[in-house]
Amino acid sequence: MKMFNLPAPALATALAVFSLTGCQQTDPGQNAAGINANSKPESEKINEAAIEAELLRIQRDWPRAVKEKDVEALRRLQADDIVIIYPDGTVGTKEQEIKDIESGDFTVDSWEMTDLQVKIINATAAGVVGRSIVKGKYKAGDGALSEIDGQYRFANTYVRRNGEWKLLVSASAQLVKPLAETPPPETKSPPEAISPSPTPAESPNP
Distances (CA, A) of 1 to 83, 122, 167, 171, 182: 8, 18, 14, 12, 36
Is the entire prediction scored with pTM above 0.85? no
> Residue 131: inside a domain, yes or no?
yes
User: Which of 23-37, 81-95, 158-172, 184-198 shows the lowest mean pLDDT across its residues?
Assistant: 23-37
> Residue 202: inside a domain, yes or no?
no
172 contacts 132 by C-beta, under 8 angstroms? yes
Q: Which residues pair with 7 in a beta bridge?
A: none
pLDDT in tens, 136-147: 999 887 778 888
> Residue 90: inside a domain, yes or no?
yes
Phi, psi of 129 (to 5 degrees): -120, 155
> Residue 20: inside a domain, yes or no?
no
Total domains in the fold of the chain: 1
**Which residue type sits at 88?**
D
Q: What CATH number does residue 170 fall under?
A: 3.10.450.50
- Mean pLDDT over residues 186-191, rounded? 52
> Residue 142: inside a domain, yes or no?
yes
71 contacts 144 by C-beta, under 8 angstroms? no
pLDDT in tens, 82-108: 999 999 899 999 999 999 999 999 999
Q: Domain range for residue 98?
A: 48-174
> Residue 85: inside a domain, yes or no?
yes
Q: What is the pLDDT of residue 32?
A: 42
> Residue 154: inside a domain, yes or no?
yes
